[in-house]
């Protein structure tokens, strides 16, 4: 059986008008039920059939997620180590249970027929589902690694007639696995369901950031990733190998999760994002305030705020050292990562939150970006402190501005020189860097001094809000 090419909507319309019934592609009996608005059908499929028919050469389809293509659902890339681990588990177990495999497809009535046979309990029906040739693709929603692994094991043992491989073959031939088909044609919904369900391996937060449209922070991040010059073609959300299958020259400048946090910070969250829930709550408060002030609401507010974030990021892209060379196409992303401290996500957070502080303080964000451009972002911007024999301290080097926050200078034994490397994306490190940058800019540029005021530090989340007077103490009763 070979996978048929999905027909276009015009071809499907012609089939409807002619009243034709294409040949049957697959037919199953199962139990139909609901999950809220979602219809689904569950049945049990022999594992041999899964390996031979329900694979990616025949009945099933899968694609790496592509932020620029919303016409079909997508998944994370395939992790070979995970496939190997599952395959080894199937080969070595006398209980090869795979768990429920979830698939999804558009229930186009021209090609998908569902016959209700009997209601076996309230809301649950025994049905016969017939999928005909020319039907929309059947997408893998949860289980792609298990499907690849089973197919690989079956290819090794299907012809076995002795030894351990025969044992594995017989276990597979006697086994079956539950399958659930989601009757859903919206690619965004299927992608979001994949995010919600992924059961075999935690999903990279960067893939969640670009696939999941269920909350405001992800939608804002997706808007910025799609429209800002800084991000276009440079943001990673899949394994690098998956990105390079589409673009061999791809190099990840930042991960999508980092861009999402930076976008929320500039929008007005600042560093008040210690948990995803806190980020979401604070971002929704920003949107609500904007809606009240402007009279616009919903997705229009998000787009308006997102456009402001993109404008400022693109301004910074053209002016901050390292970024501006990438913008001018005189520096590659790989070269940038070796030369500049803000190639790490922590550096992106510093830039984003400095811009956020300018917006909160009511000073010019563009002048603030110009001030950011004056800072020594280069890794090799080091200063040397001579040895002090009286104090017994040796000679050492340190970064002229970011030492102890974004930079950690160490002696390179191989290169026989001092070298500054990123100190890690710890919150303590980049919040200390943000604080240092804000105070420096305020001292160097009098028109921007409010950027380092207590009010600004409080609003951005670098300083705790002052508590009220609280409840007065109870009066102590006087002795009789």
Label residue 116 exposed, middle or buried (CB < 10 Å: 0-12, 13-18, 19+). Answer: exposed
pTM: 0.67
- The Cβ of residue 92 has, within 10 Å, a number of other Cβ atoms equal to 10
Q: For residues 270 and 98, give the distance between their C-alpha atoms in angstroms, rounded to a whole number.
A: 44
pLDDT band at 67 (very low <50, low <70, confident <90, very high): confident
Q: For residues 139 and 149, give the distance between their C-alpha atoms in angstroms, rounded to a whole number.
A: 17
pLDDT of 200: 52
Percent of the chain having pLDDT more than 70? 87
pLDDT band at 17 (very low <50, low <70, confident <90, very high): low
∠ CA 234-198-272, rounded to 5°: 60
pLDDT of 480: 36
In the predicted structure, residue 226 carries a pLDDT above the cut 60: yes
């Amino acid at each position: 059986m070979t996978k048929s090419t999905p027909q276009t909507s015009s071809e499907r319309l012609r089939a409807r008008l002619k009243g034709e019934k294409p040949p049957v592609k697959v037919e199953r009996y199962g139990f139909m039920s609901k999950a809220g608005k979602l219809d689904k059908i569950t049945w049990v499929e022999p594992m041999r059939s899964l390996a031979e028919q329900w694979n990616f050469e025949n009945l099933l389809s899968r694609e790496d997620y592509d932020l620029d293509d919303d016409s079909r659902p997508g998944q994370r890339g395939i992790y070979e180590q995970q496939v190997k681990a599952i395959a080894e588990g199937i080969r070595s177990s006398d209980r090869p249970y795979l768990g429920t495999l979830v698939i999804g497809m558009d229930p186009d009535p021209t090609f998908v027929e569902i016959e209700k046979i009997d209601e076996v309990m309230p809301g649950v029906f025994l049905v016969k589902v017939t999928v005909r040739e020319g039907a929309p693709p059947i997408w893998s929603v949860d289980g792609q690694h298990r499907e690849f692994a089973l197919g690989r094991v079956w290819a090794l043992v299907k012809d076995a007639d002795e030894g351990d491989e025969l044992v594995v073959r017989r276990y597979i031939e006697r086994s079956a696995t539950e399958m659930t088909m989601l009757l859903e044609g919206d690619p965004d919904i299927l992608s979001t369901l994949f995010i919600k369900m992924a059961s075999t391996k935690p999903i990279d937060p960067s893939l969640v950031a670009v696939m999941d449209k269920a909350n405001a922070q992800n939608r804002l991040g997706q808007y910025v990733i799609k429209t800002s010059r800084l991000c276009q073609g440079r943001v990673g959300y899949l394994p690098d190998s998956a990105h390079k299958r589409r673009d061999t020259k791809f190099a990840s400048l930042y991960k999508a999760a980092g861009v999402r946090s930076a976008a929320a910070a500039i929008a007005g969250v600042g560093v008040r994002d210690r948990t995803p829930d806190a980020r979401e709550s604070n971002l929704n408060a920003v949107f609500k305030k904007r809606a009240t002030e402007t009279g616009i609401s919903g997705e229009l507010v998000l787009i308006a705020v997102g456009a402001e974030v993109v404008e400022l990021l693109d301004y910074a892209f053209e002016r901050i050292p390292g970024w501006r060379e990438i913008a001018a196409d005189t520096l590659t992303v790989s070269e940038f990562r070796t030369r500049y401290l803000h190639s790490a996500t922590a550096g992106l957070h510093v830039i984003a939150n400095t811009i956020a502080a300018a917006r909160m303080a009511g000073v010019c964000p563009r002048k603030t970006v110009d001030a950011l451009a004056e800072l020594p972002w280069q890794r090799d911007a080091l200063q040397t402190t001579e040895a002090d024999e009286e104090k017994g301290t040796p000679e050492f080097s340190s970064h002229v501005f970011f030492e102890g926050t974004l930079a950690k200078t160490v002696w390179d034994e191989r290169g026989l020189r001092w070298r500054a490397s990123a100190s890690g994306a710890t919150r303590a490190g980049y919040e200390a860097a943000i604080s240092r940058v804000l105070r420096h800019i305020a001292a160097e540029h009098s028109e921007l001094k409010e950027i380092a005021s207590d009010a600004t530090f409080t609003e951005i989340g670098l300083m705790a809000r002052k508590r009220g007077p609280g409840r007065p103490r109870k009066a102590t009763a006087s002795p009789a």
